[in-house]
Structure 1
Amino acid sequence: MNHSKPVRRSPLRSLAGAAAVVVGLVLSGCTAGPDTGAVTAPPEVIGEVPENLQEFYTQEITWEECEGEFACATVKVPLDYSDPGRQSIDIAAIRLDASGEPQGSLLMNPGGPGVSGYNTVRDSAEFLLSDRLRQSYDVIGFDPRGINRSSAVECLTDEEREEARTETIPPDATDEEAIALIEEDSAEYAELCAERSGELLGYIDTVSAAKDMDILRALVGDEKLNYLGFSYGTQLGAAYAGLFPEKVGRLVLDGAVDPSLSSAEITAGQVAAFDEALRSYIADCQSQSDCPLPGDVEEGVSVVDDLFESVEASPMTASDGRLVTIGTFFQGFVLPLYDSGSWPALTGAIDRALQGDPTEFLRFADLSAERQPTGEYLTNASDAFTAVTCLDYPMSADPETMAAEAEALEASSEVFGEYLSYGALACENWEYEAVNAPAPASAPGAPPMVVIGTTGDPATPYEWSLALADQLESAVHVTWEGQGHTAYGRSGECIESLVDDFLIDGTVPDDGARC
């Protein structure tokens, strides 16, 4: 059997958190300046911490006015929690002060791994969060270790990333030739990451990032962590709850990841979920008069599949002269499936691509990759995603195992499956072995937490939210019956009220509540 050929470094999970890219960049008008100055954590909020971590919990940080109405600070955390005194690294934080009397701080993480929490709060907090929530909390965004403004990993320059996005596997390549090309590419990439990032590359795992969050919690003056995590941010939040159940305040985990799943199981779940999202989109499209996908849903899927195969065989050229290979086309096609509000734009992009113009899909792909018209990339999200994943998930690059997984992926999705196989090759030559492993979440003794699942979520399938809520002993589960990735901020008043009532008033939703 001719097994599927992978798209280089384009895993679906790397788009988990793309909802943070899709949201509008809406900022309010002028407000009073933020509170600034040097602060230290009061002893009563630090709690009991190991002696070798005292210097980090008791450090003085300085909040300075930045980005207009925000305050920014840099926090020192240990590079290696097993030897905290050896070296420190920086975590960049940004704060949007409450518009009313604050009852504490609310930390946010938008997903990824690799998405910038700093940028999300700066660009989207006033759009994403309700007026009531912003009135009640100082909102804190931060770039986890390895990411963006924090001490960051570096693998590719902007020019090298541009070149990588135009690479493709020849359509006539055999399985062996395709795998050899991917292995060569991945080995070169891993070597560059190790050379340019140094030993930081071995310490940006999720457990270490969760420990950083507790230092942040103390330094913003909260005895308990109040937290809103989306997508991968739910994995980070669940890790925190497992490490510090006694310091859990009010945690909301929206678009949940099941931490018990392997990397291969995550990919399989996402491929199936994106296939369902595609079919839901096509059914909606075909109810409109301008849909370029004729017939029934299965016929529409065939048209899309033929379009993908056409781009794979012969990359297209966008209106600006840039080449659109199958990897870029794939990334651009997937992004609008994250939000049903983007479906009309996807319809227009498909219509133009069927006429030979891939420009709109290139625009979507650039948005997902955070590429500016100048060719500059705003963050290192792609590099950080790979680096965190290789530390969090042991993977097997055994050829027979990968071939079997590829066959199963292709069977689960006519369009997407063949482009997501052989993902283990990305970490085969990584400088550092995985330090974590999939395991069910557990936080015995923690207060109630809220886990939210969206029935039509393509990036974090609904079943994952049920699994996480079941694993966390005190969690309740809330369902949004909708399409797209995550719920809060895009699903309407029902979810907003349940979340706000919990975060602000401590009112725990009924387990099994549906909106």
Structure 2
Amino acid sequence: MPVGRLTRTAIFCLSFIALCYLLEHSSYARYYRLQDDIPDASSIAPLKTFSKDKFLWDSISPSDDLVWHDCYSNNQCARLKVPLDYKNPDAASAAIAMVRIHSHVSHDSPSYRGPVLVNPGGPGGSGVSFILSRGAHLSTIVGPEFDIIGFDPRGVARSTPGVSFYKTRAERALRFDTPDGTRVFSANASADGLSRGWALGTLDGQLAGERDNGSLRFINSDHTSRDMLRIVEADGFEKLQYWGFSYGSVLGATFAAMFPDKVGRLVIDGVMDSEDYYATEWSKNLYDTDKTWMSFLNGCVDAGPSGCPLFAPTAAEISAKIDDLYVSLRARPIPVRTETSSGIVDFSMLRMRIFRALYSPYAAFPALAQALADLSNGNATTLFKMGEVPPFECACDASEYKYEDHAEAGAAIACNDGNQISPKYEDLLVHYEKLSKGSDWADIWESARMTCLAWPEFPKDHFQGPFIANTSFPLLVVGNTADPVTPLWAAKKMSKGFAGSAVLTQDSPGHCSLSAPSMCTQKHIRRYFFDGILPAADTVCNVDGTPFPSPGLDNVDQQAQAILSVSEADRNLMEAVWELARTFDVRFPTFV
């Protein structure tokens, strides 16, 4: 038998053995048996909501004490009553929904380390959905001595009061009638692209004010930070343990600056410049986006024709292929029909599909390469289906969708948090032209702040900085070298404001550390939570594997090799980091 076939056969056998090991011994085998009870994991993405929640949250009455109830097979849920307005705590209340994955040790055990609160970003991401879909992996990383708690911030999904600009689900569906349910399109798609965005964003802000029931102004990060402290104290602890991704880094930095003496362990991962966020500028997010894009082009070249369907000998040649696709779709979009929906693949959709893939290279790069290769051959269906959502269906019982996750909550948090921006089109144009000078992706990113154009003029008397504090325990700040929307520069900047904090750099493309498998990074995070030990200054972690498989391998082979390359004691951790890299899809903002 030729050497190549022997190698391939050996890899197949090793992959099969690894798969059997995973199925028989891994905690993830137990996790996947629970999937029928878990909402759609894509609910953190824009308007990709689960059809109905299989747990009746109204069966739990909000309470001043933290009372846990069995839910979703083997987890616990609670609804904690908190003040709607902390300046008037005896007036109206809000209810914060949360889910807990119990530690693997008894709470009476001396090895129990307490709860870790998790925020998946957004703003507006559902912590409940995130933990139900990925909490088992996070628990494996942090360790069995901790509870993992996901909560829906006020205004989001299952927490009340909710945020909605629309009277009915049907009205919302009519507003976002695109096949991928997005409110974002390229400002360069047409001559009136930017002005159309201005008009739609203005409508959003006007609807927000007109449909406000009096609670909207209290949906902000200041109040959510106070809610987190209430959760921790109601659970019997004095200090917060927290892991926040993307916008969750703003929330974590806000908490640390507001309550520096209440920090137990605090990880911010995929770090935003909080000052830029609260200024509603969003002008410093794209510093490393081109690096992420180049990692796709170079990765395709390195993978070869067997590993990348879009292969060409140089990155420049692949880029030229995609430029040709832009020109073609701008001139003539392609109609697509699938089994469940129909629509057109146009310039905006191509731009959005590529930009979204930059967030999750291990999950999206191979699929994107195939879609682009198919598109080059005249087949647009693959690209269309990368973000296709089920068609809207009316509900016989509206209560089935009572706690549906949608994008308005994220807009409310961002617009309430940030400074009021000018509603004038001319001022939007100035902002866009300035953003365009720094990045080729400004045509997509400008949409991020447009909902705030005509936002109600609420008082800006909540916390907006400064982000300078001597915390009771130093922060761990994590950033990737090629993060498309939270550049490593921001992680280093934010770290300077928090005394004793350390920056852990992961040498990878993608948004947040979990977008790539790195045993090095996750062991440092576990060590920080368990032992309180920060990585040494200038620590850089490599990743295990590549977004595109090496020549002669596929993704299953690559993952199996990685798992078999570590000790038996580390295999569960390696499984977790790989599975998260293959599914991680946290976005900032949620509707991108």
TM class by smaller structure? 0.7 to 0.9
Q: Residue 513 of structure 2 aligns with which residue?
A: 487
The letter for the 1-side match of 2:155 is: G
- 2: CA distance, partners of 1:353 / 1:187: 34
For residue 145 of structure 1, give the secondary structure of its aligned residue in structure 2: coil
Displacement after TM superposition at 1:501 (Å): 1.0
- 2: CA distance, partners of 1:238 / 1:64: 31
The answer as to whether partners of 2:257 and 2:465 remain within 8 angstroms in 1 is: no
- 2: CA distance, partners of 1:392 / 1:346: 34
Q: Residue 87 of structure 1 aligns with which residue?
A: 92
Displacement after TM superposition at 1:297 (Å): 2.8
Displacement after TM superposition at 1:513 (Å): 1.9
Which moves more between the two structures, 436-445 or 122-131? Answer: 436-445
* Structure 1 position 357 matched with structure 2 position 360: no
The answer as to whether partners of 1:336 and 1:346 remain within 8 angstroms in 2 is: yes
The letter for the 2-side match of 1:144 is: P
- 1: CA distance, partners of 2:446 / 2:327: 16
* Structure 1 position 402 matched with structure 2 position 428: yes
Displacement after TM superposition at 1:295 (Å): 5.7
Q: Residue 226 of structure 2 aligns with which residue?
A: 211
- 1: CA distance, partners of 2:447 / 2:31: 45
With over 3 angstroms needed to count, the CA separation of the structure-2 counterparts of 1:420 and 1:225, relative to structure 1, is closer
The letter for the 2-side match of 1:333 is: I
Q: Residue 160 of structure 1 aligns with which residue?
A: 174
With over 3 angstroms needed to count, the CA separation of the structure-2 counterparts of 1:166 and 1:425, relative to structure 1, is closer
* Structure 1 position 191 matched with structure 2 position 206: yes
With over 3 angstroms needed to count, the CA separation of the structure-2 counterparts of 1:81 and 1:496, relative to structure 1, is same
For residue 150 of structure 2, give the secondary structure of its aligned residue in structure 1: strand
Choose the corresponding residue for 2:445, options 395, 420, 433: 420
Q: How do residues 494-509 of structure 1 correspond to structure 2 at under 5 angstroms? A: 494-509=520-535
With over 3 angstroms needed to count, the CA separation of the structure-2 counterparts of 1:117 and 1:399, relative to structure 1, is same
Which moves more between the two structures, 185-194 or 133-142? Answer: 185-194
Which moves more between the two structures, 445-454 or 421-430? Answer: 421-430
Displacement after TM superposition at 1:293 (Å): 5.8
* Structure 1 position 307 matched with structure 2 position 325: yes
Q: Residue 122 of structure 1 aligns with which residue?
A: 132
The letter for the 2-side match of 1:270 is: N
* Structure 1 position 113 matched with structure 2 position 116: no
Q: Residue 136 of structure 1 aligns with which residue?
A: 145
* Structure 1 position 296 matched with structure 2 position 305: no
Displacement after TM superposition at 1:497 (Å): 1.3
Which moves more between the two structures, 351-360 or 245-254? Answer: 351-360
The answer as to whether partners of 2:186 and 2:351 remain within 8 angstroms in 1 is: no
For residue 135 of structure 1, give the secondary structure of its aligned residue in structure 2: coil
Unaligned segments of structure 1, at least 5 residues: 1-24, 32-56
For residue 407 of structure 2, give the secondary structure of its aligned residue in structure 1: helix
- 2: CA distance, partners of 1:172 / 1:352: 22
- 1: CA distance, partners of 2:266 / 2:538: 17
Which moves more between the two structures, 438-447 or 494-503? Answer: 438-447
Structure 1 length-normalised TM:
0.80
1:145-195 per-position Cα deviation (integer Å, ceiling 9, x unaligned): 111111221124352254265887998964xx5555334322332333334
Choose the corresponding residue for 1:147, options 139, 156, 161: 156
The answer as to whether partners of 1:454 and 1:485 remain within 8 angstroms in 2 is: yes
Aligned length: 458
Q: Residue 385 of structure 1 aligns with which residue?
A: 410
Displacement after TM superposition at 1:108 (Å): 0.5
1:13-65 per-position Cα deviation (integer Å, ceiling 9, x unaligned): xxxxxxxxxxxx9862779xxxxxxxxxxxxxxxxxxxxxxxxx992232111
Displacement after TM superposition at 1:207 (Å): 1.1
The answer as to whether partners of 1:292 and 1:350 remain within 8 angstroms in 2 is: yes
Q: Residue 344 of structure 2 aligns with which residue?
A: 323
- 1: CA distance, partners of 2:348 / 2:189: 16
With over 3 angstroms needed to count, the CA separation of the structure-2 counterparts of 1:271 and 1:510, relative to structure 1, is closer
- 2: CA distance, partners of 1:301 / 1:263: 35
Give the root-mean-square deviation of aligned CA atoms.
3.1
Q: Residue 248 of structure 1 aligns with which residue?
A: 263
The letter for the 1-side match of 2:371 is: A
The answer as to whether partners of 1:246 and 1:446 remain within 8 angstroms in 2 is: yes
1:430-462 per-position Cα deviation (integer Å, ceiling 9, x unaligned): 124473586441222431111011111112111
For residue 310 of structure 2, give the secondary structure of its aligned residue in structure 1: coil
The letter for the 2-side match of 1:61 is: L
The answer as to whether partners of 2:480 and 2:509 remain within 8 angstroms in 1 is: yes
With over 3 angstroms needed to count, the CA separation of the structure-2 counterparts of 1:317 and 1:222, relative to structure 1, is farther
Structure 2 length-normalised TM:
0.70
1:338-364 per-position Cα deviation (integer Å, ceiling 9, x unaligned): 222131111011112223433333333
Q: How do residues 9-48 of structure 1 correspond to structure 2 at under 5 angstroms? A: 28=31
Q: Residue 70 of structure 2 aligns with which residue?
A: 65
For residue 71 of structure 1, give the secondary structure of its aligned residue in structure 2: strand
The letter for the 1-side match of 2:357 is: P
* Structure 1 position 466 matched with structure 2 position 492: yes
The answer as to whether partners of 1:261 and 1:438 remain within 8 angstroms in 2 is: no
For residue 94 of structure 1, give the secondary structure of its aligned residue in structure 2: strand
For residue 249 of structure 1, give the secondary structure of its aligned residue in structure 2: strand
With over 3 angstroms needed to count, the CA separation of the structure-2 counterparts of 1:208 and 1:166, relative to structure 1, is closer
Displacement after TM superposition at 1:467 (Å): 0.7
For residue 165 of structure 2, give the secondary structure of its aligned residue in structure 1: coil
- 1: CA distance, partners of 2:70 / 2:497: 41
Unaligned segments of structure 2, at least 5 residues: 1-27, 35-61, 107-111, 395-400, 542-592
- 2: CA distance, partners of 1:166 / 1:265: 21
The answer as to whether partners of 1:390 and 1:434 remain within 8 angstroms in 2 is: no
1:276-313 per-position Cα deviation (integer Å, ceiling 9, x unaligned): 21112111112321442646334433433443454445
Displacement after TM superposition at 1:105 (Å): 0.7
- 1: CA distance, partners of 2:155 / 2:539: 37
Identity of aligned residues (%): 27
For residue 285 of structure 2, give the secondary structure of its aligned residue in structure 1: helix
Q: Residue 104 of structure 1 aligns with which residue?
A: 114
Displacement after TM superposition at 1:324 (Å): 3.9
Displacement after TM superposition at 1:373 (Å): 5.9
Q: Residue 454 of structure 1 aligns with which residue?
A: 480
The answer as to whether partners of 1:441 and 1:468 remain within 8 angstroms in 2 is: yes
- 2: CA distance, partners of 1:65 / 1:230: 27
For residue 199 of structure 1, give the secondary structure of its aligned residue in structure 2: coil
Q: Residue 244 of structure 2 aligns with which residue?
A: 229
Displacement after TM superposition at 1:410 (Å): 3.1
